Amino acid sequence: MTAHLKQDGPVEGAALDGMKQGLLGRPVPRIEGLAKVTGTATYAAEYDVADPAEGVFVTATISKGVVRSIDSAAARAMPGVLAVIDDARMTTRAAQGTAGEAPQQAPQRVSYWGQPVALVVAETFEQARDAAKHLVIEYDEEPGAALDPATATPEPQEDEAVNMGDLDAAMQAAAYSVDLTIETEGHASAAMEPHAAIAAWEGDKLTVHASLQMLNYNISELADALGIEEENIRLVAPYVGGGFGSKLGISEDVVAAALAARELSRPVRVVMSRQQVFQCVMRRSETWQRLRLACDGDGVLTGFGHQARVSNLPGETFTEPVLQSSHFLYAAPNRSLSMDLVRIHRMTAGSVRAPGEAVGMPALEMAMDELAEKAGIDPVAFRLRNIPDRDPEADLPFTSHGLADCLRKGAKAFGWDNGPRKPRQRREGDWWIGTGMASAARVHNASEAKARVRLTAEGRAVVETDMTDLGTGTYTICAQIAGEMLGLPLDRVTVALGDTDHPRGPGSGGSWGAASIGSAVYLACKALREDLARRANTDEAGLVMKDGAVEGGRCIADLLGGETLEELGHYEPGDNEDDFTASGFGAFFAEVRVNHWTGEARVDRMLGAFGFGRVLNEKTARSQCLGGITWSIGTALTEALHFDPRDGHLANPDLAEYHVPVHRDVREVEVLMLEERDPLASAIQAKGIGELGMCGGAGAIANAVYNACGARLHQLPMTPDRILAGLPA
């Protein structure tokens, strides 16, 4: 049976809080943790598939043109080589809305340097890699490809534009104002597990083990790319070694493995090299953001302007949603927001963790800091003064709003000195020390989700869905919700994820995973409780269960009398999405040191305070925040994709030259979770958590760099050369 909820308004809040098992919210260690640390959790390339052939990509060495010819004779003559595949469908990124449009045969169009154009398949990986170097590829290169976003022609994105009141007049009349442009550079997802797939056909049935975030969607993409029915595809991805957006859609490895396996009538494995992951998996666009902020003598914002420019490939529709939280974060009657897109030949721009806010929020918060300084107001007080009661553009109430609480409690916990602020006040040897802060905001999304929960005759619960866990803790929170609702300890709950043979989950992305799939599990368990309550001669609300038994009564197996019960939980957001603005909020506080001679900046200490509804698991939620803050450090100080201006190739396609913060870069980080119940956000009163921890954090670090050494930078990352150039004489 199906327990369906389309959420049109607030959900009843008490249900989960009234349970007795005591699992929910607790810092339960990951239930799959042992499998992961002992190496028995199988990632995409590790499945024991019989006799797989190995495929290695060959990638384009031009940024724009067509493949005129591929001479594979030499490669085919090499030891162990089985096939050379150059089907254009292989490089079709269905994820980007181009599926089905590409012709199946050559000529293949090349849109960026590093695009896969052929797959060499051999008996062993080494043979394939060797032969891949012996393809002779000729291109008809089209000269004059737009490679530089700074000189390409912008296309205004009309549906992003907001104009309210008169911003120009507000800027003129303002007691204080800032008008500045901040640049951020491109980012890579840099997930630890490379993109990989093993495809195997049995007749017309295809099974693919791959590293994917959204099986519910990926199955349609793959069906589309191959021109086959979804019913003939099974995708399997129980463990995913990070995705951060790069695995929201299928990548070339999945389609190429499927095509090669069909041609060879044999399983084929394709694993991208680290360099290939960098070169052809989607990037975060670089951005240019003009911020115009105006306030009166009391520090009340009167004007708010945010103009953003981002880039993508020709034909792609994704635009880094830089303005996402600017629309509602601060009140100001005169508003102007707009977005431009430039078309350039770099790999596809797409979702990279916290698309939009990851770079939009730091820029906004850097501008806020400059205005607070001009107005002579403490930055925390300045933000508190400008929190709106309702969404200032959509004129909607918020589902819940934790910003003020996070600002106040975060400041207190950090030891924020809310006196007047001046840069260059503290020096220790060669190092300037300073502090800075920023608000955090990230829209909350929920998504349709289905999960099946089975209660076996022995009194065990089994949760099944094609939802993925990319390291975030999904297995564990599903087990906690089921155990809590059904009164079962964790060792009596099994969670099976990442298989399209199970009901469709929401996939992992946009921070919607836990709240959405958690709601589906909750609904299924609630229906099971109704059945159990009937058997126990009570009603669902009155059913108190713990450790596999009704409190003071019969055990579950006894109630079931040999039967197995099964319910499908089906959650869908409804009118709640249209009638309210939903966001997670928070505040960042950073203490940094900047070397006077080298310009090197180090984050000594950082604190994030976050309000995002119910916390399902204190440990995994905190880990998400720690991860987000780590990304904040990377965004602020080190992470940038560098493209060669001559031919457009990515110059730093590896983890040595694209520096994500490592252990030594991340010192003292404190996370304060200000738990609340948001009955409008999801059936379990939880909001998204995953991405909030990096939505503004780089701004706090930039503001701390200024406070430390006096360098006001308008470019991220703040590398030593930039900081040195920005130091006051």
3-state helix, strand, coil in the chain (%, to 5): 30, 25, 45
**Which residues neighbour 455 within 8 Å (Cβ) at sequence distance 6 or greater?**
461, 486, 528, 532, 556, 560, 564, 565, 566
Closer by beta carbon to ligand MOS, 244 or else 571: 244
250 binds ligand MOS (CB under 6 A): no
**In the complex, minimum distance from the CB of residue 627 to ligand MOS, in angstroms, rounded to a whole number:** 12
Interacting residue with ligand MOS among 509, 518, 569, 717 (CB under 6 A):
509
Pattern 156-195, ligand MOS, x by CB under 6 A: ----------------------------------------
Pattern 191-230, ligand MOS, x by CB under 6 A: ----------------------x-----------------
**In the complex, minimum distance from the CB of residue 353 to ligand MOS, in angstroms, rounded to a whole number:** 5
353 binds ligand MOS (CB under 6 A): yes
434 binds ligand MOS (CB under 6 A): no
Stretch that binds ligand MOS, among 322-330, 347-355, 563-571, 577-585 (CB under 6 A): 347-355
Q: Is the dihedral of CA 151, 155, 158, 160 positive or negative?
A: negative
CA separation for the pair 216, 234 (Å, rounded): 11
Stretch that binds ligand MOS, among 30-38, 72-80, 224-232, 241-249 (CB under 6 A): 241-249
**In the complex, minimum distance from the CB of residue 213 to ligand MOS, in angstroms, rounded to a whole number:** 6
506 binds ligand MOS (CB under 6 A): no
- Identify any residues that bridge with 601 across adjacent strands, giving them in sequence order: 594
**In the complex, minimum distance from the CB of residue 352 to ligand MOS, in angstroms, rounded to a whole number:** 6
**In the complex, minimum distance from the CB of residue 398 to ligand MOS, in angstroms, rounded to a whole number:** 22
Q: Enumerate residues 462-481 that contact ligand MOS by CB under 6 A.
A: none
- Identify any residues that bridge with 428 across adjacent strands, giving them in sequence order: 431
Find out whether 319 and 348 touch, Cβ atoms under 8 Å.
no
Closer by beta carbon to ligand MOS, 52 or else 696: 696
Joined tokens for residue 168: 């120009």
Q: Enumerate residues 69-108 that contact ligand MOS by CB under 6 A.
A: none
Closer by beta carbon to ligand MOS, 188 or else 543: 188
**Which residues neighbour 507 within 8 Å (Cβ) at sequence distance 6 or greater?**
213, 214, 215, 216, 217, 218, 248, 447, 467, 468, 513
Residues across the chain = 729
| Residue facing ligand MOS at closest CB distance | 245
**Which residues neighbour 495 within 8 Å (Cβ) at sequence distance 6 or greater?**
31, 462, 463, 475, 478, 479, 482
**Which residues neighbour 6 within 8 Å (Cβ) at sequence distance 6 or greater?**
572, 573, 574
Closer by beta carbon to ligand MOS, 118 or else 240: 240
Identity of the amino acid at 528: L
510 binds ligand MOS (CB under 6 A): yes
Closer by beta carbon to ligand MOS, 248 or else 485: 248
**In the complex, minimum distance from the CB of residue 175 to ligand MOS, in angstroms, rounded to a whole number:** 39
107 preceded by cis ω (within 30°)?
yes
**In the complex, minimum distance from the CB of residue 320 to ligand MOS, in angstroms, rounded to a whole number:** 11
Stretch that binds ligand MOS, among 51-59, 201-209, 240-248, 365-373 (CB under 6 A): 240-248
C-alpha pair distances (Å), 177 with each of 291, 375, 395, 418: 10, 9, 25, 22
**In the complex, minimum distance from the CB of residue 728 to ligand MOS, in angstroms, rounded to a whole number:** 38
**In the complex, minimum distance from the CB of residue 466 to ligand MOS, in angstroms, rounded to a whole number:** 16
Closer by beta carbon to ligand MOS, 284 or else 346: 284
507 binds ligand MOS (CB under 6 A): no
Find out whether 629 and 695 touch, Cβ atoms under 8 Å.
no
CA separation for the pair 589, 581 (Å, rounded): 26
**In the complex, minimum distance from the CB of residue 463 to ligand MOS, in angstroms, rounded to a whole number:** 22
Other CB atoms within 10 A of residue 77 CB: 10
149 binds ligand MOS (CB under 6 A): no
The half-sphere exposure of 662 on its side-chain side, counting CA atoms within 13 A, is 6
Closer by beta carbon to ligand MOS, 224 or else 357: 357
Question: Which of 314, 312, 305 is CA-nearest to residue 352?
Answer: 312
Interacting residue with ligand MOS among 170, 257, 323, 352 (CB under 6 A):
352
Question: Which of 423, 468, 722 is CA-nearest to residue 599?
Answer: 722
CA separation for the pair 510, 472 (Å, rounded): 12
Interacting residue with ligand MOS among 355, 584, 634, 699 (CB under 6 A):
355
CA separation for the pair 276, 507 (Å, rounded): 25
Torsion of Cα atoms, 87 then 91 then 93 then 97, to 10°: -50
Closer by beta carbon to ligand MOS, 386 or else 508: 508
C-alpha pair distances (Å), 188 with each of 150, 185, 698: 20, 10, 16
248 binds ligand MOS (CB under 6 A): yes
CA separation for the pair 627, 135 (Å, rounded): 41
**In the complex, minimum distance from the CB of residue 552 to ligand MOS, in angstroms, rounded to a whole number:** 46
- Identify any residues that bridge with 606 across adjacent strands, giving them in sequence order: 590, 669
Stretch that binds ligand MOS, among 104-112, 239-247, 257-265, 478-486 (CB under 6 A): 239-247
The verdict on whether 691 is a catalytic residue reads yes
CA separation for the pair 230, 98 (Å, rounded): 18
Question: Rg of the Cα trace of the chain?
Answer: 27
Closer by beta carbon to ligand MOS, 238 or else 392: 238
586 binds ligand MOS (CB under 6 A): no
Report the side by side order of strands in the sheet with 196-202: 81-85, 116-122, 53-59, 268-271, 196-202, 205-210, 233-236
244 binds ligand MOS (CB under 6 A): yes
Stretch that binds ligand MOS, among 85-93, 348-356, 447-455, 631-639 (CB under 6 A): 348-356
Find out whether 279 and 651 touch, Cβ atoms under 8 Å.
no
245 binds ligand MOS (CB under 6 A): yes
Closer by beta carbon to ligand MOS, 248 or else 344: 248
Closer by beta carbon to ligand MOS, 352 or else 582: 352
CA separation for the pair 339, 335 (Å, rounded): 14
Closer by beta carbon to ligand MOS, 128 or else 308: 308
Stretch that binds ligand MOS, among 142-150, 352-360, 417-425, 565-573 (CB under 6 A): 352-360
Joined tokens for residue 450: 């289905």
243 binds ligand MOS (CB under 6 A): yes
**In the complex, minimum distance from the CB of residue 692 to ligand MOS, in angstroms, rounded to a whole number:** 12
351 binds ligand MOS (CB under 6 A): yes
Stretch that binds ligand MOS, among 143-151, 229-237, 244-252, 488-496 (CB under 6 A): 244-252
Closer by beta carbon to ligand MOS, 249 or else 483: 249
360 binds ligand MOS (CB under 6 A): no
Task: Name the catalytic one among 252, 484, 676, 691.
Answer: 691
User: By rule CB under 6 A, what count of residues binds ligand MOS?
Assistant: 11
Question: Which of 602, 628, 512, 178 is CA-nearest to residue 363?
Answer: 178
**In the complex, minimum distance from the CB of residue 316 to ligand MOS, in angstroms, rounded to a whole number:** 16
Give the burial class of 454: count Cβ atoms within 10 A of its Cβ; 0-12 exposed, 13-18 middle, 19 or more buried: middle
CA separation for the pair 443, 549 (Å, rounded): 40
Indicate which residues carry an active-site annotation: 691
Q: Which residues bind ligand MOS (CB under 6 A)?
A: 213, 243-245, 248, 351-353, 355, 509-510
